[in-house]
Amino acid sequence: MSMKSFPKPSDLQVPPGAEGWEELYPYYLVFQDALKAEEDEKFWFCDSQHWPTVFKPFETIGGEFAVKCLGQYNARHLMIPNANGIDFRIHLGYLYMSPLPVPSEQIAARVPEFEARIGHYFANWDTLLEQWHVKVKGTIAEMETLTFEALPDMVPMADILSGKAKDGSEVLLENYDRLIQLCYQNWQYHFEFLNLGYIAYLDFFNFCKEVFPNIPDQSIATMVQGVDMELFRPDDELKELAALAVELDLAGAFSNTDDPAATLAAIAASPAGERWLARWEEAKDPWFNFTIGNGFYGHDKYWIEHQEIPLGFIADYIHRLQGGANIMRPTEKLIAEKDRIVSEYRDLLDPEIREAFDAKRTLAATAYPYVENHNFYIEHWTMGVFWRKVRELSRMLHAQGLWNEPEDMLYLGRNEVRDVLFDLVTSWGIGAGDPIGNVVWPQEIERRRGIVDALKTARPAPALNTPPSAITEPFTRMLWGITTEQVQQWLGGDEDSESGVLKGMAASPGLVEGMARVVMHADDLSEVQAGEILVAPITAPSWGPIFGKIKATVTDIGGMMSHAAIVCREYGLPAVTGTGSASTTIRTGQMLRVDGTKGTVEILEEAPVVTGPGAHSHSHV
């Protein structure tokens, strides 16, 4: 075993121009000098799966709410006997995490609480989940009602007559606070079932590993994974719209989808256009509340606001349909294969063990689909509305002269925004003219923009400090694919590694060869050509339409249950996830052999230097 360590936080070079970066983030999110000894003792891994690029100050909200709420369910709701939450810090713009164990003397006392609590949830799964949908949609509906309008020159006469005695600024302040609270609320709901889904999965996983030693993780995933999932619904809607367009002879209207208004007008002008547009409107709510990002960044683009994205995907599907391709997922085949796998494993067991297998698999198959489906409701729908409201506020404040670019509010922390709002309502209220912020924020934002851009020039370290001899925390292994072997590979201690061969998780079976297409950012997805192998730091659910035309997927980050793994199994494509460095090692144009059954990626030949679109994709990050 290698005794190597990752760098300490203080060992990492601050990129030139990023000096003073700590001040961009709240004190509790950065490593503290006064806690150095304690913090250096801990092993921190970088979650670049969810946060692949540098946080602008406002964007820490997603990381903070998500990781805090994840932890509360372990530590306070479910009383997981051996796992508290996950401590987290931002360092040089990236998020690092450290799982918190439960002191061994406390484990026993938590067991009865844990069993009673998960018992209630598993026993009432369907009712509680139905209730969850109501709660989550209620939050989103309320969020939609929030408005951020400029304050009027004078209080309306009606308010004088009614004796309202308030100037309306309180609405602005309340709505801002409410927006943040509603976001927080759905992040609490997000984890109500997530940890339970993982617990049920993990229980079945451990059981399988015991009765079938070394059973591939892939087999276990296949046995509990849903085949028809809400996560795939937006993509399925596009496929149906494409098929309808072909049926109604509307394909000609999709020649320039970069101009959505013209495209939709051309459809409307066609004889059967009305029918198609009715279907399009129906699909939009809610399924276009879907981002090509992952919901954690202010720059994420949502279909509903960028209709060129779904229209472009539809045009691509139309093209493939016209070429005779079958664009639908092989659902029936996948279900039949899943049933075969379940019954063959089951038949290998003695009858008395078979009952436990059935019970555990059924529980996991009931609870696990939430892990995949919740994503649409929170990361996509909730966060889509949230970021839209944030931009609405940012543009209103931009119009007051508080910053130079419409969306510059992202360079303020969320609590700094409260100060700005009070600055605004004060200056407006007293009739003083411009807010004080108008002379503070434009320069400060430019300074911060420079720091963020400087931080983006460096990739995060995969981890910090000395790893434990073995990674045992169950959630870390499962959610992030952080295993002892993975950590060793990051440290370069994997002595078996051959040159030109990357190892990762065997996330979806199959062996293919093809040309690499390295995609560092969702905005570069349009460069992907049919038959290529997608290589990316991570993938997101909304990349769905891409999976119909690629041959395989390779990612830097992610385990068996990462998005790329799930989608590739769904599409029957090979996938190798969690390679650590595929996106920086492989270059677009190289020939690859991807073995999703073994978890290896072999670079077969050096690629010629690629110029043109995509050649400089690194700079987009």
Binding site for other proteins (CB under 8 A): 80-83, 107, 111, 114-115, 118-119, 122-125, 199-200, 202-203, 206-207, 210-216, 218-219, 222, 340-341, 344-345, 348-350, 353, 355-356, 358-360, 362-363, 472-474, 506, 509, 511, 597-598
> What separation in angstroms does the CA of 600 have from each of 171, 377, 490, 535?
56, 34, 15, 13
Structure token pair of residue 445: 């934002």
To other proteins, the closest distance from the beta carbon of 88 in angstroms equals 21
Closest distance of CB 353 from other proteins, Å: 6
Closer residue to other proteins (CB): 115 or 281: 115
Strand 591-595 relative to strand 94-101, pairing: unpaired
- Shortest gap between Cβ of 315 and other proteins (angstroms)? 37
Residues 363 and 357: their CA atoms lie apart, in Å, by 10
Among 423, 419, 421, 422, which residue's Cα sits nearest to residue 435?
423
Residues linked to residue 98 through DSSP beta bridges, in sequence order: 87
Minimum CB–partner distance for residue 355 and other proteins (Å): 6
SS (H, E, C) 97-110: EEEEECCHHHHHHH
SS3 44: strand
- Where residue 256 falls (left for φ over 0; alpha for ψ -120 to 50; beta otherwise) is beta
Q: Tell me the C-alpha distance between 565 and 229, whole Å.
A: 14
Tell me how far, at minimum, the Cβ of 561 lies from other proteins, in Å.
Answer: 15
User: Omega before 537 cis (within 30°)?
Assistant: no
Cα(600)–Cα(198) distance, integer angstroms:
26
> Is the omega angle on the peptide bond into residue 57 within 30 degrees of 0, that is, cis?
no
Q: Indicate the residue among 457 and 597 with the shorter CB distance to other proteins.
A: 597
Residue 552 Cβ, how far from other proteins at the closest point, in Å? 15
Q: How far is CA 106 from CA 71, 86, 218, 419, in A?
A: 17, 17, 34, 42
Radius of gyration of the chain from its Cα atoms, rounded to whole angstroms: 25
Alpha helices in 556-620 (DSSP H): 563-571, 582-585
Q: How far is the CB of 553 from other proteins (least distance, A)?
A: 18
Q: Is 293 left (phi over 0), alpha (psi -120 to 50) or beta?
A: beta
| Cβ-based nearer residue to other proteins, 65 or 370 | 370
Q: How far is the CB of 78 from other proteins (least distance, A)?
A: 11
Of 215 and 440, nearer to other proteins (C-beta) is: 215
Question: Quick one: 97 or 245, whose CB is closer to other proteins?
Answer: 97
Among 225, 209, 228, 474, smallest CA distance to 345 is for 209
- State which residue, 211 or 436, has the beta carbon closest to other proteins: 211
Q: How far is the CB of 568 from other proteins (least distance, A)?
A: 15
Residue with tokens 């677009």: 588
**Size of the chain, expressed as the number of residues it contains:** 621
| CB nearer other proteins, residue 406 or residue 468 | 468
User: Which C-beta is closer to other proteins: that of 279 or that of 354?
Assistant: 354
**CA separation, residue 395 to residues 150, 181, 297, 392 (Å):** 10, 21, 17, 5
C-beta closer to other proteins: residue 376 or 475: 475
Q: Which is nearer to other proteins, 345 or 377 (CB)?
A: 345
C-beta atoms surrounding 251 within 10 Å: 17
Least gap, CB of 476 to other proteins (angstroms): 10
- Supply the minimum distance, in Å, between the C-beta of residue 510 and other proteins: 10
Which CB, 184 or 212, lies closer to other proteins?
A: 212
Instruction: Single out the residue of 445, 489, 455, 617 nearest to residue 95, CA to CA.
Output: 455
- Which residue stretches of 433-473 are H helix? 437-456
> Given the complex with other proteins, which of 53 and 508 has the nearer CB atom?
508
Q: How far is CA 326 from CA 315, 319, 330, in A?
A: 15, 11, 9
> What is the smallest separation between the CB atom of 326 and other proteins, expressed in angstroms?
24
